[in-house]
Structure 1
Amino acid sequence: QEFILSSRGNLFGGILIALASLYIKWSDNKKQKLTTPKTIDKTLHPYELVGNLTMIAAVSGVIGAKIFHNLENFDLFLSDPLGQLLSFSGLTFYGGLIFGAISVIWYAKKFNIKIKHLIDSSAPALMLAYGIGRIGCQMSGDGDWGIVNLAPKPDWMGFLPNWMWSYTFPHNVINAGIPIDGCVGNFCYQLANPVWPTAFYEVVMSLILFGILWFLRKRINIPGMLFFIYFIFNGIERFFIEKVRVNTEYNILGGITQAEIISFLLIITGFLGCIYLYAKRDQKI
C-alpha cells in the first residue's frame, strides 16, 4: 500500500487514476447532454398545500406551546433551562394556537390563499382537536385537573360514574399524590384528595361547541365570521373552566392565570371581529 501511494510510480496506481479521471470526464459530459431545464408556471391549488400547512402548524405549534409553558412556569425554567426546553412534557394550548396560527397565515399569504376562508375552515377542526387532546389529559392524568372537590355528588348525577364528579387520578403519569397500596412498578400514585375532572368537562364542552360550529359552517356567508365565533366559544369555555382548574397564577388582579388572560382577550377579539365583519359585510375587505 505504501508503494502504491508513494511517489516512485506504479503501473496499477496509474491505471486506477486514469480510470477515475476518465469516469469523471464521462460523467461531466453526460450531465452536459441532459435536457436544458425549463421554467414552468403552475397554478398551486390550496388543497395541494395542506401537507405543508399541517407540518408548519405542528412544528410551530409545539414551539409556541413550549414557550408559553415556560413563561407560565418561569421559576422551573430558570432552575433547569435546557431540561425544560427539551422535555416532552409541559405544553400550553394557547401558545400552540397563537404560534401555529401566525405561522400558517404567514405561509398562506405567500401563496395568495384567502386568509378568511382558510381560518374559517380550521375553526371546527380546532375545537374538535382541543376536545380530543383533553381525552388524553383525562386518561393519562398528566396534571391537567381541577382543584380539590370534597363535596358529595349531587343526587341528579346519581346515575353517572363517580369519577365524573371527583377523581383521584390513580396511576397518573406524573406520579402525583400518595402511593397506591399493593401497587408495584411505575405509576403507582394517586391524589390524596379527589379533584374536579376538568379535562373531562372540557371534552364534553368542546364536542358540543364543535357541533355548533359544524352546524353554522354553511349557514354563515360572511368570510372570517366563523373563526371569530370560535374565538368567543373557546375563550368562554376556557375562562370558566379555569375557575376550578389547577394552574399557575400571576400576582395581579388578585390572582389570574395566563389562560384567563388569553381567553379574555380571545372573547373580546371574537366579538370585535364579528362586529367589524358584519359592518363590512357588503364591502370587499
Structure 2
Amino acid sequence: MFPYLHIGSLTLGTFGILMWFAAVTAAYVLHRSFLRAGVSADAIVVVSTVMIAGVVGAKLWHELQHPFQLRMAMQEVILPGWSQPLEVLTRFFHWFQAGFAWFGGLLFGIGALMWQGRTHKTGAVRMLDLAAPAAAIGYGVGRIGCLTSGDGDYGVATTLPWGIHIHDDALDPPQPNPPGLLVHPTPIYELLFSLALGWYLWVRGRKGDLPIGQLTGEYLVLSGVGRFLVELLRRNERLYLGMSNAQVASLGTIVVGAIVIAISRSRRSAVVEQTA
C-alpha cells in the first residue's frame, strides 16, 4: 500500500489524490453528458458540490454507525483545548481522513445532484440521469484511493495470483501483516465493475426516447447489485441475517431503483396515452 507520497518535505495522501482524480474523471464524463443533452450547466461546479456533499455524507453515516468511536474521537480531537487551535485542526484532519460509508455518500450525493438540477432548471431527476455514467466511473476511480491507502483491501483470503498483502503502516517500514496472507483486491473489482456500468449507462443514454428516471433507476439497481456481490469477498462484520451493513443498504438501493424505473415507465405511458 502507498498511503502517502513524500515529495521532499511535502507529504500527500494518496486517498485524497485519487479522490481528486475521481472528481476530474466524473466532471469530464458529466461535461460530455451535458454537451450531448444540450445542457449549459458547469460540470465542474456540479461535481465539486456533489463530491463535498458525498464526502460529508459518507463520513457522517460511518460515524453514526459507530457512536462510541465517534465519542472517543471527539474527545481526542478537542483534548488539546481551544487554546491550541493548530493542534485541534491537525487532530481533526487526521480523524477525518479515514472511516467513510458508501451509502451515506450516495444519499448526500443524490441530494446534491437533485438540488442542482432544480437550480439549473434541468429537473432534479433528469440531472440524476445525466450524471449516472459519471457517478459510476467516478466511484470506481475513487475506490482505488482505498486500495492505495490500505483502507479497502480487506477481502477474504485467496490463493489467486492477483491477491495482495495487507500492509501494516504502524511498522517501520510498512510490511505485510500477516506476512504470508493474500486477500482479494476488492477495490480493483469495484473499479472494473464501475467502468463497465459507466459504459453501459453511457450507451443507454444515447437513446433519446428513454423515460426520465430510467437511467437513474438502472444505476441504482446495478450499482446495488455490484456492491452486494463485492461484499461477499470483503471481511466486514455480518450483522443482519448474515449480511453486512453495506449489503443491507445495497438491497435498499436495488428496491428504490426498481421503484424509480416502474414510476418513470408508468409516467411515460400516461403521457403517451394522453397524447394519443
TM-score, normalised via structure 1 length: 0.67
Q: Name the counterpart of 1:275.
A: 262
1:235 is displaced (CA, Å) by: 0.2
Q: Deviations over 1:88-122 (max 9, x none)?
A: 12222221121121133124324533122211111
Deviates more, 1:202-211 or 1:108-117: 108-117
- If each structure's helix is expressed as a fraction of its own residues, which one has the higher value? 2
Q: What's 1:175 paired with? A: 169
Structure having greater relative contact order (Cα 8 Å, sep ≥ 6): 2
Tell whether 2:107 aligns with 1:98. Answer: yes
Equivalent residue letter for 1:175: D
Corresponding residue for residue 60 of structure 2: 67
Give the match for residue 230 of structure 2. Answer: 241
| Structure-2 separation of matches of 1:50 and 1:131 | 19
| Distance apart, 1:46 and its partner CA | 5.4
Given the superposition, is the C-alpha separation of residues 48 and 214 from structure 1 closer, same or farther in structure 2, using an over 3 Å criterion? Answer: closer
Structure 2, unpaired ranges of 5+: 1-37, 78-90
Give the corresponding residue for 1:226.
215
Secondary structure, counterpart of 2:268 in structure 1: coil
Alignment of 1:101-250 (within 5 A): 101-149=110-158, 152-153=159-160, 162=161, 164=162, 166-169=163-166, 172=167, 175=169, 185-192=172-179, 193-219=181-207, 221-250=210-239
2:217 maps to a residue whose letter is F
Change (3 A) 1:124 1:191: farther
RMSD: 2.6
Q: From the superposition, tell whether residues 123 and 59 of structure 1 become closer, same or farther in structure 2 (CA, over 3 Å).
A: same
3-state SS of paired residue (1:222): coil
Q: Give the structure with higher Rg (CA).
A: 1
Deviation at 1:48, TM superposition (A): 4.0
CA shift in 2, pair 1:208/1:143, >3 Å: closer
Count of residue correspondences: 217
Q: TM-score, normalised by structure 2?
A: 0.69
- SS at 1:256's partner residue? coil
User: Which consecutive unaligned segments of at least 5 residues does structure 1 have?
Assistant: 1-44, 154-161, 180-184
